[in-house]
Amino acid sequence: MSRYLKENYQALEEYTPGEQPKDTEYIKLNTNESPFPPANEVLNVLKRQDIENLRLYSDPTMSVLKAKLANLYGVKSENIYLSNGSDDILNFAFMAYGHKGAVFPEITYGFYSVFAELHQIEYEAIPLQDDFTVNYKDYLSKNKLIVIANPNAPTGNARPLREIEEIIKSNPDSVVLIDEAYVDFGGESAYPLCEKYDNLLVVRTFSKSRCMAGARLGYAIASKGIISDLEKIKYSTNPYNINRLTATLGEATVDAEDYYKEKCQEIIKVREYTKEKLESLGFEVLPSKANFLFARHKSYDGEKLYLELKARHILVRHFSTDKIKDFNRITIGTKEQMDKMLLALCEILKGENQ
Ligand SMILES: *Cc1c(COP(=O)(O)O)cnc(C)c1O
């Protein structure tokens, strides 16, 4: 850190992304990426790209991609905002709507507290219930920016739409942000409520269910007013926040919806298979509607398990936060990858009994 850094940034504890190691080939089950490549149509579009056009700026209105997404969800283009990954939208939302304070679960996506601190927002982190679920009643009538990941991370638990609607309804004077990074793996989306509630901001990403974490593309669905707020901030920071290549890939991705639906179904199937196998190995596995499982073993230490798997070239995510330090978050890969992981777990657990 240099002595030139503004004081309130000096104490900032930045977000720690999951490891992306380059030293060995790992079975990577630690950052909730898709094990599947983008659809063939997307790969073909990339091959046909006229690289010469990269000398030109991208379209700051993103009108083509917006229209495609609007059509897919049956909303208007004015209800869609696009950004360089959904983290960007979360950042903007804290910046724009956090001035009365923010409320989110204590165990959730680690970036929320980072954004709150970045923008010097006072926040309340509400503990989960004993079964690691969000109690929606804790979020009623707060009159502050409410941020809920649904399904939640790293637990995988999803709340029904009627509970989400109660939260939105009871906070009419503040924005309720529902982060739906994992909704395509079995959750219930809140976006149809955008028509009814102008304080609802639904945030989505192409990173997980659209197999494109490396392209950086996120979007929001909300009332026209909220979308124009986000656009205002975008035009005050970086109007070209989505590059030409990513925009084109995004368009082809929306066109290939069927492929991604099928891949999501496959992930769900492998998730349930893996859950059952883990349980038979003595793990407690939280019910998940996401592309990962959150599991702890009845007798084996969580961090030790993470390290033993890593030694066998399998990466999962361990958080040292006290309340969840017994758990590991395991991204759902292909069935073959999960079988290798399960085999490794068998070995590790057997070694312990000797
Ligand atoms: C992965 C994730 C994001 C970030 O997605 P990007 O679009 O890749 O920035 C946002 N929210 C949650 C809960 C996530 O798990």
- DSSP one-letter string for 136-154: GGGGTT--SEEEEESS-TT
d(CA 324, CA 306): 13
Out of 152, 179, 332, mutate this one to test ligand 1's pocket (max ligand atoms within 8 Å of CB): namely: 179
> Is the sign of the CA dihedral 302, 112, 235, 201 positive or negative?
positive
Q: Does domain 55-256 have CATH number 1.10.1060.10?
A: no
Domain ranges of the chain: 7-37+258-353, 55-256
Phi, psi dihedrals of residue 95, rounded to the nearest 5°: -65, -40
Q: What is the pLDDT of residues 274-304, one digit of tens each?
A: 999 999 999 999 999 999 999 999 999 999 9
Distance in angstroms (rounded) separating the CA atoms of residues 93 and 167: 17
Q: How many residues does the chain have?
A: 354
Distance CA 107, CA 105 (A): 5
| pLDDT for 61 beyond 70 | yes
| Band of residue 352 on the pLDDT scale cut at 50, 70, 90 | low
Can you give the pLDDT at residue 354?
A: 47
Helix ranges (H only) for 74-187 are 86-97, 111-118, 161-170
Which atom, in ligand 1's list, is nearest to the CA of 205? 7
pTM over 0.95, yes/no? yes
Q: Quick one: pLDDT band at residue 3, thresholds 50, 70, 90?
A: very high
Domain 7-37+258-353 annotated CATH 1.10.287.980: no
- Residue of 136, 143, 86, 140 whose CA lies nearest to 115: 86
pLDDT digit string, tens, across residues 112-164: 999 999 999 999 999 999 999 999 999 999 999 999 999 999 999 999 999 99
* Mean of all residue pLDDT scores within the chain: 96
| Nearest protein Cα to ligand 1, atom 5 | 86
Hey, which of 31, 33, 81, 86 would you mutate to test ligand 1's pocket, going by the most ligand atoms within 8 Å of its Cβ?
86
Q: State whether the Cα torsion 86-87-92-97 is positive or negative.
A: positive
User: What three-state secondary structure class fits 107?
Assistant: coil
**Residue 335 class from Cβ within 10 Å (0-12 exposed, 13-18 middle, 19+ buried)?**
middle
Grouping H, G, I as helix, E, B as strand and the rest as coil, residue 222 is strand
Which ligand 1 atom sits nearest the alpha carbon of residue 87? 9
Give residue 349 CA to ligand 1 midpoint distance, Å. Answer: 32
